[in-house]
């Protein structure tokens, strides 16, 4: 028997629309943004793109960390500082940090000094991740002309260079709070903000701000389209908040007795967990890009309506 006999679809839609419009109005168009983002996300086959991003990211993580550590050791010329920065970088990854740290330390102990050509090769491998991210973020914007292969590579190298500088700066800020020398400087210079808990809070928030900045840069500069800073920021905040919640949920889930990847995958269990986290993060980055695009569509349409009414 047809379902329409039990449910009048048209009547149901007529009932739901006013409720949707009321809630959407109170949330300043948030429901429209999520609806548009979800529709375009599905049309762009973004879940499949997230899988390809996870593939390239998994192969780019270790070259990326090696590039960052090599840059830090070149800039600061200290083995101790290099080791500390390596630990700081690995701590950024909420899933399987021990796996990453162990493998990177093994590579560093066997490779010796990184030559110029070897460093270029590592940078090329690491930029594969940003190349794929750039391509798929660009697809979130319907009016984007798309970047050429060379443009995506140049942007990948630029992001790598900026990322290396940011990591060194953030590590330095994180180290400041942990040494007694800073306490003496605080007393000597009598800087108000450094003598309060606000400074410690800012240092603890540095990794989150680092990720927020990276998301904002990706959503602002990677698309070959006109993106306003607040539109990119909306996608960046969404991606950061949801990715942190997912990381917490995954850490809780993996530490519980509900899942035992090693029983199925053996020694590959931690790699599978890392790959799952990378896929979910890639999924969220792409959805965040579509959020930025949807925010642009909704807010610009409102602006046109207001201008037309004037």
For 194-223, how does the pLDDT look when each residue is reduced to its tens digit (9 = 90+)? Answer: 555 666 676 667 778 888 988 998 899 888
Mean pLDDT of 53-58: 84
Hey, what are 145's tokens?
């002309």
pLDDT at 289 over 90: yes
pLDDT digit string (tens) for 150-183? 888 888 888 877 777 777 776 676 666 665 555 5
- The 10s digit of each residue's pLDDT in 2-18 is 545 555 667 777 777 88
Q: What is the pLDDT of residue 294?
A: 94
Predicted TM-score (pTM) of the model is 0.78
pLDDT digits (tens, 9 = 90+) for 79-131: 666 666 666 666 666 666 677 777 766 766 665 555 666 677 777 887 888 88
Contacts of 233 (CB under 8 A, 6+ apart): 216, 219
| pLDDT at res. 277 | 84
- pLDDT of 97 reads 67
Q: Give every CB contact of residue 90 below 8 A, 6+ residues apart in sequence.
A: 65, 97, 100, 101, 104
Q: In this predicted structure, what is the pLDDT of residue 9?
A: 67
pLDDT score, position 232: 95
User: What pLDDT is recorded for position 95?
Assistant: 65
H or E element at residue 164: helix 149-176
**41: confidence class by pLDDT, cuts 50, 70, 90:** very high
**Bigger pLDDT: 11 or 230?**
230
Lowest mean pLDDT among 142-156, 246-260, 281-295: 246-260
Q: What is the mean pLDDT of the chain?
A: 76
Mean pLDDT score, 30-45: 91
Q: Mean pLDDT over residues 295-302, rounded?
A: 86
> Average pLDDT for residues 276-303, to the nearest whole number?
90
Give Cβ neighbours of residue 293 (< 8 Å, ≥ 6 apart): 36, 37, 40, 140, 141, 142, 231
Which residues, including other chains, have CB under 8 Å from residue 208's CB and lie 6 or more apart?
240, 244
pLDDT of residue 166: 74
């Amino acid at each position: 028997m047809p379902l329409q006999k039990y449910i009048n679809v048209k009547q149901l839609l007529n009932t739901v629309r006013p409720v949707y419009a009321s809630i959407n109005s109170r949330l300043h168009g948030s429901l429209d943004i999520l609806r548009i983002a979800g529709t375009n996300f599905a049309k762009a086959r973004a879940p499949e793109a997230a899988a390809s991003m996870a593939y390239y990211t998994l192969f780019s993580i270790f070259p990326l960390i090696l590039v960052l550590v090599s840059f830090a050791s070149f800039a600061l010329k200290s083995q101790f500082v290099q080791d500390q920065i390596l630990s700081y970088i690995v701590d950024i990854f909420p899933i399987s940090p021990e796996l990453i740290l162990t493998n990177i330390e093994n590579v560093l102990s066997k490779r010796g000094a990184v030559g110029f050509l070897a460093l270029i090769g590592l940078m090329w491998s690491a930029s594969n991740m940003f190349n794929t991210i750039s391509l798929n973020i660009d697809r979130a914007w319907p009016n984007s002309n798309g970047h050429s292969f060379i443009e995506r590579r140049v942007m990948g190298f630029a992001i790598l260079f900026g990322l290396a500088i940011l990591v060194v700066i953030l590590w330095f800020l994180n180290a400041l709070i942990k040494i007694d020398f800073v306490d003496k400087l605080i007393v000597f210079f009598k800087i108000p903000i450094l003598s309060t808990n606000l400074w410690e809070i800012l240092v603890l928030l540095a990794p989150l701000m680092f990720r927020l900045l990276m998301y904002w840069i990706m959503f602002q500069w990677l698309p070959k389209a006109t993106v306003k800073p607040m539109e990119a920021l909306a996608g960046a905040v969404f991606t950061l908040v949801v990715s942190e919640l997912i990381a917490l949920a995954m850490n809780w889930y993996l530490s519980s007795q509900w899942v035992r990847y090693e029983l199925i995958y053996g020694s590959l269990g931690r790699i599978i967990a890392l790959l799952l986290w990378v896929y979910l993060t890639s999924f969220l980055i792409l959805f965040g890009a579509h959020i930025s695009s949807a925010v642009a569509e909704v807010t610009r349409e409102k602006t046109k309506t207001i201008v037309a009414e004037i």
